[in-house]
Structure 1
């Protein structure tokens, strides 16, 4: 995973929170059920961004220390979390940060893949209390059997600009995909997996809403401007031809929870 691309998200600090989807409420309920954490626990979030996964847990009353690499994202998180006295946001990479505390739960939402694989599991384990947990999840583009044909149409444009989909199209459905995190947890030698669960949901987007979403993705942020402009024109053209001007994008998240060995 490119260390350069992970820094691109700071350029989307002002729009990320509203453009990205909320994670399902069921995911948080399952997280608490599997880990057994209660609001007396101290949580560590790795890569909090503007607070997308921080706010729901802060509202439950958890004490949270959140670490964020991007200065603009960290500032946005502090602004949004200012009303929660038990939440602090630290501007640092997880790899370089040297905390004094120990935590009951370390978690990362759509951020874990950007952390150095040589560091992340050993460091997370070292920061956990005995019996503590590590939980990670992502928000990925899901391709169920009834996915919107818009995405097949727009793939032609991605291919034209040299940004085509890797592998066969379309990719596997969410249910057909393995959980790569579970194998990674086990291989780390620091955690045993105690729970995994898949969540799939769908959202409708206007052209403006969808382009705002794309502007929070590292590949689109880093894309050459002329390529991005051509792609966005084609997206607007395809959606303008639809009666309601909207597309349906399916999302998936896999929650993986490991207990420290």
Structure 2
């Protein structure tokens, strides 16, 4: 190889190295206070089903995940002002949210439930919870449902920044019930020492008008390119067994849904 050809080859090699190094990371917003989907370990690191699924999706798309931790009600605003490129935080795909952001396809779908003291009987939430205090996470689908259906029925809805805070007030007797995702209640509360003496009660909450079509990954309105890449990656990890591997770490049942 002559000197000119050698110089050209080295230049191309160097350019390629810089091109890879300069590839932008996918900045993903997440709330790390929603076990088992996202939580902090003893050493302060983020862990959970959402976090692991996100890392598998990034690996499939050959990009670096850059996780940005925030409270849940700040995730969509951060997406809209371009502080993050996507939100992967157990966010339900609802018609209301679709007015301001777009979504990937779902990556899981589970119903909502009430958790109360063991022995509580709830047949009709609008009737049986009248006058009681029901906790929900602020800006969640459960908040929207409670505002539209429970508040007009005389239920006192109390809003919290995270479900962990709501569970603490349930333990302290400051609220009578918490309305949240069934998996979060089961894994994040009932299976802990604090959950003793409490139980899931009443019907499933899955009205698509409020609870949508499962949890998806939010992207900015019109960002079809990112949504399509995420959809392809979801399909890929569902097919190659990576989704099943992550699911098995946290659940002994299928949470993908129908």
TM-score, normalised to structure 2, is: 0.33
User: Which is richer in helix?
Assistant: 2
Ranked by relative contact order (alpha carbons within 8 Å, sequence separation 6 or more), the top structure is 2
TM-score, normalised to structure 1, is: 0.33
